[in-house]
């Protein structure tokens, strides 16, 4: 049972990777739409491709970020758990107390491959790995306390996992002013990027229906079915439409629609694996009979698509020579591996205390499915390049033992 | 601004100072509840139609059967005592006379007989030389072809003996007694008719026997093979101390191959230690049973039933039951009949003891402890993972038996419940009879503590059972209807340590 629990937890964390658009966005807790320019504008708002009047370069791996987080366990609790010889009831409750019905975890990674701007266009590529998973709190209680209840029912709603990995090749063009706007009105600049997506691996939970009961009247009964669909190799696409406007010299606003028409079609090697286990009215006195039947079958599956849900992002930024403050609201229209229907507000601030020393701060306010995220970044900047690092804490203002997740990012920019 | 920078660096250092422990899972304890059993055990399931059967009023019966037989009856002996002398033999005249043929012991009246052993002797005396032929014929003695026994003079003087084995006396299935043998003779000579040619002496004065006898017998007795007519009862674990049977019934089916009715006499004798009880095997009127005879080649069937009397024997819970001094007697009451020497009597007996008894407050201890082998894997599992175990039991008892069940656990087979040093621990539970409670009884949970479980880390342990019954206030009857059952439902609950 202990091995099972370990495997399940590892599976959750291993398969739970969520979206990071670019590594630099981690510096501001995703409040980054009006801060991105150059190559990064391909992913945040292609209208801003011409904002930086240089040729901008991305180097392989030089812009990378990784994050991992969960909803219940902070580092202190983790350390407590792994250093205990024997887990007491108090210890179990300490682990379970913040689960709120489930232990969910997310993680993602984003690794730059290349990128370059040419005039008002840009071409870039990056690798994305993202996913998420959940385990019902009741399942963990079952592992911790045994079957203290008569019946258990687990469904996909609180026990699932999904992962997707792909490489994008994105071409963007921006800096197009919308015509016929009077000169004395703020101009609106638009841009468009299109991505060709090469799917690497996809795995998703199609069905979870696990019922277990153990009563003296009906014996032990088990009826479970889990369907896992996986695909290797796929082709997809998505597009982003962005606009922004400098309303005043110190205030900008922007809007984007991301993942337009976004989907990856998995059509090379697809499989559906069905795990079933059944037991009917089992009593120990029936020990000579087969107690339960289990099977796992894998079949080739038809091609299928993974939708990349469309997201609407609204942003505004106040600019000052040494301080910038921004706010981003992102709203998805569907629940997919990369999007959520629950809106999220992020706030970011950038400081330049010294001409060569950029600092960043970001906070993503919590919602029903995500904890608060707080980012801190620092960099070194010169005339033609900039190198920065950042750390992000989940559910804790200060990265430390109370953090329920961590994200790390490095960003390197070269321009000339 | 320097303060802001310092703050930033401090936050990064703070995070950098966090120690992340190497992943390692602790051990913890869980409670498992596993259904053990939920079943009803019907009394009717005990019925095997061989030893346990359902009788009238759905009463359960313990039944036992056996077979007893008699030896073959053998030949019927007959003592004719014929000794006739100086019977004149005239020439040229056919004459006849009768020889009286009666059993000198006055025990048998022969109507027909097939001789197994026996002889006839005759002697022709002073035969004149002019004699040409002398022929003597006994019409009541015939050979297998129906030819009468004929004696011819062949010039030899002195006594001649004829072996009569295989000869028939009288006519088969004759309805009249063969009380005399008719003898005729014819002699020829050169002398004038009427001349006495000599004399004849005849003797049949030795016992003869018939392998097939038809007639009447005044007295003939046939014993039984007594060694096969006994039953030894080995009551398991002293259960006889706890039970007194109320009644029992014995039925004997007799198959009689003899062509005579016979009177069965004998006694049932029951012994328990030095106590002996004996009852005569007689009918309700105190008379011996009369066994029907075989007729027309078909054996006679008789059924003897003992019910009231047999309970007298069973109430001492006998260790040995035997039919003693038993015999089948043919007498004048039997009348006419037929006997073959291979005839015998078979008896098939059935002892029925209804499950109707008194129960006594007495402890029954199973003599031998049960040996339980525990595999190495299970020993390790119990040692490393099992902290406690227990049984939650509910019982619905629909039968009028209740009492205590005790289990004694130890590492030696020599468990003595009276000596606490011979076992490690004991567990017991009380089950009330249906007369006390016929609804679900929640029994106190049986729990095994960690120290109890240590016993199960031995490769071999022993379990000795002990039972004691509630004293019954009245006669207990066990019936086997659909309402007679014991229902048990139980959950096995254990506290396990998860460490791998």
Q: Is the predicted pLDDT of residue B414 greater than 70, yes or no?
A: yes
Convert the pLDDT of each residue in B208-226 to its tens digit: 999 999 999 999 998 887 6
pLDDT-derived band of residue B145, with 50, 70 and 90 as boundaries?
very high
Residue B188: strand pairing partners? B133
User: How high is the pLDDT of residue A6?
Assistant: 42
Closest C-alpha to B125, from B206, B195, B185, B196: B196
Domain assignment present for residue B213? The answer is no
The residue with greater pLDDT, B180 or B305, is B180
**Backbone phi and psi for residue A55, each to the nearest 5 degrees, phi listed first:** -85, 125
The residue with greater pLDDT, A15 or A403, is A403
In angstroms, how far is the first alpha carbon of chain A from the final one? Answer: 59
Minimal Cβ distance to A359: which of B4, B24, B31: B4
**Backbone phi and psi for residue B147, each to the nearest 5 degrees, phi listed first:** -85, 135
Residues, chain B: 500
**Chain B residues with CB inside 8 Å of A393's CB?**
15
Same domain, B109 and B238: no
**Chain A residues with CB inside 8 Å of B1's CB?**
353-354
User: How high is the pLDDT of residue A371?
Assistant: 86
Same domain, B348 and B365: no
User: How high is the pLDDT of residue A5?
Assistant: 44
Q: Is the predicted pLDDT of residue B143 greater than 90, yes or no?
A: yes
Q: Are A73 and A87 in contact (CB under 8 A)?
A: no
Q: What is the mean pLDDT of residues B133-147?
A: 93
User: How high is the pLDDT of residue A11?
Assistant: 38
Same domain, B88 and B174: yes
Convert the pLDDT of each residue in A206-258 to its tens digit: 999 999 999 988 999 999 999 999 999 999 999 999 999 999 999 999 999 99
Same domain, B230 and B328: yes
**What's the DSSP call for residue A51?**
S
Convert the pLDDT of each residue in B355-396 to its tens digit: 888 888 888 777 788 888 888 888 888 888 888 888 888 889
Q: Are B198 and B90 in contact (CB under 8 A)?
A: no
Q: What is the mean pLDDT of residues B309-319?
A: 76
User: Is CATH 2.40.160.40 correct for A2-415?
Assistant: yes
What is the sign, positive or negative, of the torsion defined by CA atoms of A124, A20, A51, A46? positive
For tokens 């009961």, name the residue: A213
> Chain A: nearest CA to B19, how far in angstroms?
8
Q: Is the predicted pLDDT of residue A12 greater than 60, yes or no?
A: no
Query: Looking at the 3D structure of chain B, how many domains does it have?
Result: 3
Distance separating alpha carbons of residues B115 and B77, to the nearest angstrom: 10
Task: Give the E-state strand segments of A249-384 in sequence order.
Answer: 251-282, 293-300, 304-307, 311-319, 323-332, 344-354, 357-364, 373-381
Domain assignment present for residue B2? The answer is no
Same domain, B334 and B364: no
Same domain, B198 and B232: no
User: How high is the pLDDT of residue A7?
Assistant: 41
* The two three-digit tokens of residue B172, written as one number: 């088969």
Q: Is the predicted pLDDT of residue A17 greater than 50, yes or no?
A: no
The residue with greater pLDDT, B2 or A129, is A129
**What's the DSSP call for residue B104?**
T
Q: What is the mean pLDDT of residues A181-193?
A: 92
Same domain, B387 and B483: yes
The residue with greater pLDDT, B15 or B317, is B317
Convert the pLDDT of each residue in A358-377 to its tens digit: 999 999 999 887 889 999 99
> Chain B: nearest CA to A392, how far in angstroms?
10
Cβ contact, residue pair A399, B498, below 8 Å:
no
Domain assignment present for residue B10? The answer is no
**Chain B residues with CB inside 8 Å of A146's CB?**
30-33, 496
Distance separating alpha carbons of residues B225 and B491, to the nearest angstrom: 57
* The two three-digit tokens of residue B113, written as one number: 């007989």
Residue B63's region, left for phi above 0, alpha for psi from -120 to 50, else beta, is beta
Neighbouring CB atoms inside 10 A of B178's CB total: 21
Cβ contact, residue pair A214, B19, below 8 Å:
no
**Backbone phi and psi for residue B237, each to the nearest 5 degrees, phi listed first:** 55, 30
Q: Are B363 and B468 in contact (CB under 8 A)?
A: yes
Neighbouring CB atoms inside 10 A of A314's CB total: 16
Indicate the domain borders of chain A. 2-415
User: How high is the pLDDT of residue A50?
Assistant: 84
Same domain, B163 and B266: no
Q: Are B242 and B365 in contact (CB under 8 A)?
A: no
SS3 (DSSP) at B332: helix
Instruction: Quickly count helices (H) and strands (E) in chain B.
Output: 4, 36
Share of chain B above pLDDT 90, in %: 34
**Got the DSSP string for B383-407?**
HHTEEEEEEEEEEEE-SS--EEEEE
User: How high is the pLDDT of residue A327?
Assistant: 98
Minimal Cβ distance to A400: which of B15, B489, B492: B15
Convert the pLDDT of each residue in B7-60 to its tens digit: 555 555 555 567 888 888 899 999 888 887 888 888 888 787 777 788 878 888
Convert the pLDDT of each residue in A285-323 to its tens digit: 765 566 678 999 999 999 999 988 999 999 999 999 889
Same domain, B303 and B379: no
DSSP run (H or E) holding B90: strand B82-90
Residue A103: strand pairing partners? A135
User: How high is the pLDDT of residue A8?
Assistant: 42
What is the sign, positive or negative, of the torsion defined by CA atoms of B189, B193, B195, B200? positive
Domain assignment present for residue B6? The answer is no
Share of chain A above pLDDT 70, in %: 93
Distance separating alpha carbons of residues A145 and B156, to the nearest angstrom: 120
* The two three-digit tokens of residue A52, written as one number: 């930086």
Distance separating alpha carbons of residues A347 and A349, to the nearest angstrom: 7
Domain assignment present for residue B12? The answer is no
Domain of B328? 60-73+219-354
Domain assignment present for residue B19? The answer is no
User: How high is the pLDDT of residue B500?
Assistant: 60
**Backbone phi and psi for residue B177, each to the nearest 5 degrees, phi listed first:** -75, 140
User: How high is the pLDDT of residue B167?
Assistant: 96
Interface confidence (ipTM) of the complex: 0.77
Q: What is the mean pLDDT of residues A12-39?
A: 77
Q: Among A7-16, A372-381, B74-83, B312-321, which stretch is predicted with the lowest mean pLDDT?
A: A7-16
Q: Is the predicted pLDDT of residue A127 greater than 90, yes or no?
A: yes
Q: Are A349 and A362 in contact (CB under 8 A)?
A: yes
Residues, chain A: 416
SS3 (DSSP) at B463: strand
User: How high is the pLDDT of residue B8?
Assistant: 53
Optimal mutation site among A79, A283, A349, A410, interface B, most CBs of chain B within 10 A: A283
Domain assignment present for residue B1? The answer is no
Q: Are B348 and B251 in contact (CB under 8 A)?
A: no
Q: What is the mean pLDDT of residues A32-57?
A: 90
**Chain A residues with CB inside 8 Å of B26's CB?**
81-87, 91
Residue A226: strand pairing partners? A208, A275
User: How high is the pLDDT of residue A288?
Assistant: 58
Query: B170: domain CATH number?
Result: 2.60.120
Minimal Cβ distance to B27: which of A87, A148, A218: A87
CB of B4 within 8 Å of any CB in chain A?
Answer: yes
Domain assignment present for residue B17? The answer is no
SS3 (DSSP) at B226: helix
Q: Is the predicted pLDDT of residue A91 greater than 90, yes or no?
A: yes
Distance separating alpha carbons of residues B265 and B262, to the nearest angstrom: 10
Cβ contact, residue pair B34, A214, below 8 Å:
yes
User: How high is the pLDDT of residue B360?
Assistant: 83
User: How high is the pLDDT of residue B229?
Assistant: 60
Cβ contact, residue pair A285, B25, below 8 Å:
no
Same domain, B382 and B494: yes
* The two three-digit tokens of residue A345, written as one number: 């507000």
Q: Is the predicted pLDDT of residue A46 greater than 60, yes or no?
A: yes
Domain boundary among B154, B171, B206: B206
**Got the DSSP string for B188-205?**
EESSPTT-EEEEEEEEE-
CB of B11 within 8 Å of any CB in chain A?
Answer: yes
DSSP run (H or E) holding A77: helix A75-83
CA atoms within 13 A on the CB side of A238: 26
Domain boundary among B286, B321, B354: B354
Q: What is the mean pLDDT of chain A?
A: 89
Cβ contact, residue pair B394, A79, below 8 Å:
no
Same domain, B180 and B307: no
Same domain, B366 and B490: yes
Q: What is the mean pLDDT of chain B?
A: 86
Q: Is the predicted pLDDT of residue A2 greater than 60, yes or no?
A: no
Convert the pLDDT of each residue in B444-483 to its tens digit: 888 888 888 898 889 998 988 888 888 887 888 888 888 8
Distance separating alpha carbons of residues B13 and B7, to the nearest angstrom: 10
Q: Is the predicted pLDDT of residue A123 greater than 80, yes or no?
A: yes
Domain boundary among B314, B337, B354: B354
Minimal Cβ distance to A82: which of B22, B34, B394: B22
Neighbouring CB atoms inside 10 A of B18's CB total: 14
Q: Among A54-58, A382-386, B129-133, B470-474, which stretch is predicted with the lowest mean pLDDT?
A: B470-474
Cβ contact, residue pair B35, A83, below 8 Å:
no
Convert the pLDDT of each residue in B297-309 to its tens digit: 899 999 988 776 6
Residue of B nearest to A217 (CA): B38
């Amino acid at each position: 049972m202990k091995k099972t629990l370990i495997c399940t937890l590892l599976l959750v964390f291993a398969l739970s990777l969520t979206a990071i658009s670019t590594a630099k966005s981690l510096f501001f807790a995703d409040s980054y739409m009006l801060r991105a320019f150059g190559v990064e504008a391909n992913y945040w708002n292609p209208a801003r491709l011409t904002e930086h009047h240089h040729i901008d370069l991305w180097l392989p791996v030089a812009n990378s970020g990784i994050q991992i987080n969960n909803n219940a366990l902070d580092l202190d609790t983790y350390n407590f758990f792994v250093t205990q010889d024997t887990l007491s009831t108090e210890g179990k409750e300490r682990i379970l107390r913040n689960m709120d019905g489930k232990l969910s975890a997310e993680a993602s990674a984003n690794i730059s491959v290349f990128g370059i701007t040419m005039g008002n266009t840009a071409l870039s590529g990056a690798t994305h790995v993202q996913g998420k998973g959940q385990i019902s709190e009741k399942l963990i209680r079952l592992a911790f306390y045994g079957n203290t209840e008569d019946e258990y029912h687990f469904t996909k709603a609180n026990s699932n996992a999904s992962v997707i990995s792909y490489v994008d090749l994105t071409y963007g063009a921006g800096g197009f002013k919308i015509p016929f706007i009077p000169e004395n009105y703020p101009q609106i600049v638009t841009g468009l990027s299109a991505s060709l997506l090469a799917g690497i691996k996809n795995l998703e939970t199609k069905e979870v229906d696990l019922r277990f009961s153990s009563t003296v009247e009906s014996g032990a009964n088990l009826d479970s079915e889990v369907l896992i669909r996986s695909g290797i190799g796929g082709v997809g696409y998505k597009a982003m439409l962005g606009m922004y406007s400098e309303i005043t010299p110190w205030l900008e606003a922007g809007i984007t629609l991301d993942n337009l028409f976004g989907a990856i079609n998995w059509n090379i090697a697809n499989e559906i694996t069905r795990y079933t286990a059944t037991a009917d009215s089992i009593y120990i006195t029936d020990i000579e009979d087969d107690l339960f039947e289990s099977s796992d079958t894998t079949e080739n599956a038809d091609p299928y698509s993974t939708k990349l849900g469309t997201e609407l992002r609204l942003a505004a930024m106040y600019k000052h020579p040494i301080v910038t403050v921004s706010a981003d609201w992102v709203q998805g229209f569907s629940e997919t591996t990369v999007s959520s229907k629950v809106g999220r507000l992020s706030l970011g601030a950038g400081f330049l205390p010294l001409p060569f020393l950029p600092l960043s701060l970001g906070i993503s306010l919590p919602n029903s499915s995500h904890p608060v995220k707080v980012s801190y970044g620092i960099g070194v900047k010169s005339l033609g390049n900039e190198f920065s690092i950042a750390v992000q804490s989940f559910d804790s203002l200060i990265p430390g033992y109370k953090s329920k997740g961590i994200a790390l990012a490095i960003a390197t920019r070269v321009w000339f | 601004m320097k303060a802001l920078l310092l703050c930033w660096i401090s936050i990064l250092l703070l995070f950098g100072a966090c120690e992340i422990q190497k992943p390692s899972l602790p051990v913890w304890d869980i409670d498992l509840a596993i259904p053990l059993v939920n079943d009803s055990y019907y009394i009717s399931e005990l019925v095997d139609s061989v030893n346990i059967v359902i009788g009238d009023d759905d009463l359960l019966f313990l039944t036992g059967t056996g077979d007893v037989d008699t030896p073959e009856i053998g030949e019927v002996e007959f003592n004719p005592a014929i000794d006739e002398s100086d019977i004149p033999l005239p020439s040229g005249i056919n004459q006849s006379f009768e020889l009286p043929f009666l059993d000198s012991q006055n025990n048998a009246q022969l109507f027909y007989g097939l001789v197994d052993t026996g002889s006839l002797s005759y002697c022709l005396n002073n035969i004149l030389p002019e004699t040409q032929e002398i022929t003597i014929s006994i019409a009541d003695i015939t050979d297998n072809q129906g030819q009468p026994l004929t004696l011819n003079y062949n010039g030899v003087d002195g006594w001649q003996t004829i072996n009569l084995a295989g000869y028939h006396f009288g006519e088969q299935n004759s309805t009249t007694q063969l009380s005399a043998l008719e003898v005729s003779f014819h002699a020829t000579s050169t002398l004038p008719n009427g001349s006495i040619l000599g004399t004849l002496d005849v003797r049949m004065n030795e016992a003869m026997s018939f392998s097939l006898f038809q007639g009447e017998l005044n007295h003939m007795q046939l014993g039984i093979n007594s060694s096969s007519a006994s039953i030894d009862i080995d009551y398991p674990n002293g259960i006889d101390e706890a039970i007194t049977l109320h009644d029992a019934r014995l039925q004997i089916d007799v198959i009689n191959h003899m062509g005579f009715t016979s009177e069965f006499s004998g006694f049932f004798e029951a012994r328990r230690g030095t106590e002996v009880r004996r009852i005569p095997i007689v009918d309700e009127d105190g008379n011996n049973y009369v066994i029907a005879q075989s007729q027309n080649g078909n054996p006679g069937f008789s059924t003897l039933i003992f019910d009231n009397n047999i309970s007298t024997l069973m109430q001492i819970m006998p260790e040995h039951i035997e039919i003693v001094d038993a015999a089948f007697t043919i007498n004048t009451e039997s009348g006419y009949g037929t006997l073959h020497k291979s005839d015998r009597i078979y008896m098939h007996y059935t002892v029925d003891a209804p499950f109707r008894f008194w129960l006594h407050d007495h402890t029954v201890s199973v003599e031998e402890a049960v040996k339980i082998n525990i595999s190495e894997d299970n020993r390790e599992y119990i040692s490393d993972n099992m902290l406690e175990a227990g049984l939650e039991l509910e019982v619905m008892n629909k039968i009028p038996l209740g009492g205590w069940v005790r289990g004694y656990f130890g590492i030696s087979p020599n468990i003595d419940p009276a000596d606490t040093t011979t076992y490690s621990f004991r567990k017991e539970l009380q089950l009330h009879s249906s007369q006390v409670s016929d609804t679900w009884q929640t029994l106190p949970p049986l729990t095994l503590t960690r120290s109890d479980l240590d016993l199960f880390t031995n490769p071999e342990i022993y379990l000795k059972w002990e039972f004691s019954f509630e004293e019954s206030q009245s006669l207990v009857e066990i019936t086997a209807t659909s309402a007679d059952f014991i229902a048990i439902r139980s959950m096995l609950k254990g506290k396990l340590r998860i460490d791998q």
